[in-house]
Amino acid sequence: MCGIVGAVAQREVSGILLEGLRRLEYRGYDSAGMAIIAPNGKIENRKRVGKVEKLSEELTSSPLLGRVGIAHTRWATHGQPSEENAHPHISGDIALVHNGIIENHEELRQRLKELGYQFNSQTDTETIVHLLHYYYQEQQDLMAALKKTIGDLQGAYGLAVIHAAEPEKIICARKGSPLVIGIGIGENFIASDQLALRQVTDRFVYLEEGDIAEISPDNYTILNAEFNAVTRDITQIDSAAESVDKGHYRHYMLKEIYEQPSVIRRSLAGRLGSKNILIEAMGSRAGQILKDISSVQIVACGTSYHAGMVAKYWIEGLAGVPCRVEVASEFRYRKFKVQDNTLFVTISQSGETADTLAALRLAKTLGYSASLTVCNVAQSSLVRESDLYLMTEAGPEIGVASTKAFTTQLVALLFLTVALGRHHDMTENEEKDIVKALNALPDLLSETLELNLNIKKMSNAFAEKHHALFLGRGAQWPVAMEGALKLKEISYIHAESYPAGELKHGPLALVDADMPVIAVAPNDELLEKLKSNLEEVQARGGQLFVFCDKAAGFKTAKGMDIIELPHVDDVIAPIIYTIPLQLLSYHVAILKGTDVDQPRNLAKSVTVE
Ligand code: AGP
């Protein structure tokens, strides 16, 4: 959460910083600010509560001129969204932006107050800038002061600092929160995500855990956690591969929903043979590592956790390999037994989710055989720190509500299922059937998207509702969980999901005419059981909205709206049935008038605990 951008150049930087903030807004959008070393040699700053556009308006009426600057878009952790709490924070001639959480901030605050520092905000971040100021008095060198400062910090940080007395540089540090240097010609940059800098460069250096760095217009130097100078690889990013505008769509979310056939086609390319899956596409070590695996532990958060839940049905049901799934924030704080030959799998769109990353780091100390991440960002921490990775190839996902990341995760997890199944219960014929189903997937997704207008019509029934219940059985239960998460996060309607068989054990008490019940009903072996569950809802006057297979035998009737989907193979049904639930949430959110791409209180990338 929170986005940082900085620039040292031989031209004005406020426009570059502002565009960088716009591209980082997915990381937080409750306030934004910028600080620059002005032509008079002093630090000047502007801050506004609200989105980056508010800061932009402020800069139009009151511009910031200068060639060295830092900027920040915030997602509040300590202290409410306000101008005082917005970054950059200032102490004397020093300005600082920070992403992360300083856990010992109260103790530091007390110490600094005793040293005579006055605090203007409720943030943990302000302690860092005062500490820097304190150590600068002693060291008279910004880098030396930073080394001393980070020695006092407990917690996570990606931070960038400027000092009016050292006007040609930005100093930065990374521990627990991502930072990347963008390399230009006669200018260099720093940001939380390379996306922020794509308008100025395509060459990037990713800082590693514990790194600190100094960037100036013509140079950059990196020191590792032991303060030894190190060289890190330069990554060139292919600009053509990633587009980050909305095109003709009203929202990123809608664009990303409609991109699913093409990104899934891309994620299948080079991974499917005519009858089998090309395991080599998972990396040269994959075959060797996976053949000895006898169980799987999946850890993830939010939507990525739901992908893991679907994968559990596949890995146990199709590959015959025991599989456990847990949310990362629980996994990292409990005690458990690690079975021999267990593969530790993380799933993450961003590859930077703090809890998932912490779970991976913990797992590495616990005796798992190997780690694999299913991830959408090639340069992310999860990819760099895992033994194996399966890239989802979804392209940048900007809408806070995850859509194409989820379905591409499912495709990648189906690959993993087959890769494991080959050494366990899966026959060649079963693998061939999965390949056939995957090949059909992009066209079936396009066909399903054609239901958009029917779904839009259906969404009217939800506009005045305050609650909704999502039901599924088997691998469709996590699809129902994902549907409920989508509805609540973008329409703010309270939604819950249940495996349909659980209904009579409590939630049935909630069912009445004001509680819409949404069911996902492919024509699978649990269909008849699901029908009985839905009859229980009808018998209590509940209004049903059923997404079903053409051959499932549902009919629109009083109390039951149905939308028929194309007939699909069971194995890919969770991917197909996700689409109508994404569209339903989208249309309900439009009716509610919420901020679809940036719903309240949320951020795209959760890099704090
Ligand atoms: C879902 O729409 C959310 N964006 C959220 O639940 C998200 O999936 C979660 O924060 C995990 O993010 P990650 O995939 O980047 O790790």
Binding site membership of 376 for ligand 1 (Cβ less than 6 Å): no
For residue 486, give the ligand 1 atom closest to its CA: 2
Least confident range of 56-60, 198-202, 304-308: 198-202
CA of 350 to the centre of ligand 1 (A): 8
Contact 77, 101 (CB under 8 A): yes
Separation of alpha carbons 308 and 302, rounded Å: 10
Neighbours of 53 (CB within 10 A): 15
User: Residues 428-449: what's their mean pLDDT?
Assistant: 95
| CATH number, residue 307 | 3.40.50.10490
Separation of alpha carbons 119 and 136, rounded Å: 18
Q: Tell me the average pLDDT of the chain.
A: 93
Q: Could you confirm whether 604 is annotated as catalytic?
A: yes
Q: What is the full DSSP assignment across 248-297?
A: T-SSHHHHHHHTHHHHHHHHHTTTB-SSSB-GGGG-TTHHHHHTT--EEE
Please determine, for residue 280, whether its predicted confidence score (pLDDT) is greater than 90: no
Give the model confidence (pLDDT) of 396-412 as tens digits: 899 999 999 999 999 99
Higher per-residue confidence, 241 vs 8? 8
Contact 191, 167 (CB under 8 A): no
Please determine, for residue 284, whether its predicted confidence score (pLDDT) is greater than 80: no
Residue 276 located in a structural domain: yes
Please determine, for residue 240, whether its predicted confidence score (pLDDT) is greater than 60: no
Q: Tell me 322's DSSP state.
A: -
Same domain, 94 and 113: yes
User: Residues 305-329: what's their mean pLDDT?
Assistant: 97
Same domain, 191 and 267: no
Least confident range of 214-228, 298-312, 494-508, 570-584: 494-508
Give the mutation target among 301, 389, 409, 491 for probing the ligand 1 site: most ligand atoms within 8 A of CB: 301
Same domain, 297 and 325: yes
Separation of alpha carbons 416 and 570, rounded Å: 17
Residue 310 located in a structural domain: yes
Binding site membership of 401 for ligand 1 (Cβ less than 6 Å): yes
Residue 437 located in a structural domain: no
pLDDT-derived band at 281 (thresholds 50, 70, 90) equals confident
pLDDT-derived band at 19 (thresholds 50, 70, 90) equals very high
pLDDT-derived band at 561 (thresholds 50, 70, 90) equals very high
The token pair at 528 is: 């008849």
Catalytic option among 2, 323, 375, 548: 2
Same domain, 288 and 371: yes
Higher per-residue confidence, 530 vs 111? 111
Binding site membership of 124 for ligand 1 (Cβ less than 6 Å): no
From 376, 396, 426, give the residue that closes a domain: 426
User: Residues 455-463: what's their mean pLDDT?
Assistant: 96
CA of 395 to the centre of ligand 1 (A): 15
Q: Using alpha carbons, select from 478, 462, 484, 488 the residue that is nearest to residue 543.
A: 462
Which residue's CA is the nearest one to ligand 1's atom 8? 303
| CATH number, residue 40 | 3.60.20.10
End-to-end CA distance of the chain: 10
Residue 452 located in a structural domain: yes
User: Residues 336-356: what's their mean pLDDT?
Assistant: 94
Please determine, for residue 547, whether its predicted confidence score (pLDDT) is greater than 70: yes
Same domain, 470 and 577: yes
Amino acid letter at 256? E
Residue 83 located in a structural domain: yes
Give the model confidence (pLDDT) of 129-172 as tens digits: 999 999 999 999 999 999 999 999 998 899 999 999 999 999 99
For residue 303, give the ligand 1 atom closest to its CA: 8
User: Residues 469-498: what's their mean pLDDT?
Assistant: 97
Q: What is the pLDDT of residue 483?
A: 98
Same domain, 232 and 254: no
From 236, 257, 290, give the residue that closes a domain: 236
Please determine, for residue 239, whether its predicted confidence score (pLDDT) is greater than 70: no
Binding site membership of 302 for ligand 1 (Cβ less than 6 Å): yes
Contact 7, 13 (CB under 8 A): yes
Contact 181, 195 (CB under 8 A): no
Q: What is the pLDDT of residue 204?
A: 95
Binding site membership of 380 for ligand 1 (Cβ less than 6 Å): no
**Count: domains in the chain:** 3
- Bridge partner residues of 106 (DSSP): none
User: Residues 212-219: what's their mean pLDDT?
Assistant: 97
Instruction: Give residue 124's Cα distance to chain centre.
Output: 24
CA of 604 to the centre of ligand 1 (A): 7
Amino acid letter at 306? H
Least confident range of 161-170, 324-333, 507-516: 507-516
From 426, 450, 475, give the residue that closes a domain: 426
Q: What is the pLDDT of residue 242?
A: 58
Residue 479 located in a structural domain: yes
Same domain, 202 and 287: no
Binding site membership of 353 for ligand 1 (Cβ less than 6 Å): yes
Same domain, 287 and 377: yes
Q: What is the pLDDT of residue 245?
A: 79
pLDDT-derived band at 2 (thresholds 50, 70, 90) equals confident
Which residue do the tokens 């699901």 mark? 530
Same domain, 294 and 367: yes
Separation of alpha carbons 512 and 535, rounded Å: 13
Residue 434 located in a structural domain: no
User: Residues 87-104: what's their mean pLDDT?
Assistant: 95
Residue 538 located in a structural domain: yes
Spatial strand order of the sheet with 31-37 comes to: 43-49, 31-37, 68-74, 3-8, 188-191, 180-183, 203-206, 235-236
Separation of alpha carbons 569 and 549, rounded Å: 11
Please determine, for residue 238, whether its predicted confidence score (pLDDT) is greater than 80: no
Which residue's CA is the nearest one to ligand 1's atom 9? 302
Same domain, 413 and 450: no
Same domain, 105 and 203: yes
Give the mutation target among 303, 389, 491 for probing the ligand 1 site: most ligand atoms within 8 A of CB: 303
CA of 483 to the centre of ligand 1 (A): 14
HSE at residue 105, side-chain half, CA atoms within 13 A, is 21
Least confident range of 51-60, 93-102, 142-151, 596-605: 596-605
User: Residues 450-475: what's their mean pLDDT?
Assistant: 96
Residue-wise burial string across 293-314, b where 16 or more C-beta atoms lie within 10 A, e elsewhere:
bebbbbbbbbbbbbbbbbbbbb
Separation of alpha carbons 193 and 180, rounded Å: 6
The 8 Å CB, 24+ separation contacts for 145-148 are 146/171, 146/173, 146/212, 147/212, 147/227
Catalytic option among 47, 51, 255, 604: 604
Neighbours of 556 (CB within 10 A): 11
Q: Using alpha carbons, select from 41, 78, 36 the residue that is nearest to residue 55.
A: 36
Q: Using alpha carbons, select from 365, 351, 358 the residue that is nearest to residue 327.
A: 358
Binding site membership of 350 for ligand 1 (Cβ less than 6 Å): yes
For residue 281, the enclosing domain spans: 246-426
Binding site membership of 403 for ligand 1 (Cβ less than 6 Å): no
CA of 220 to the centre of ligand 1 (A): 33
Share of the chain above pLDDT 70, in %: 99
Q: What is the pLDDT of residue 241?
A: 52
Same domain, 257 and 140: no
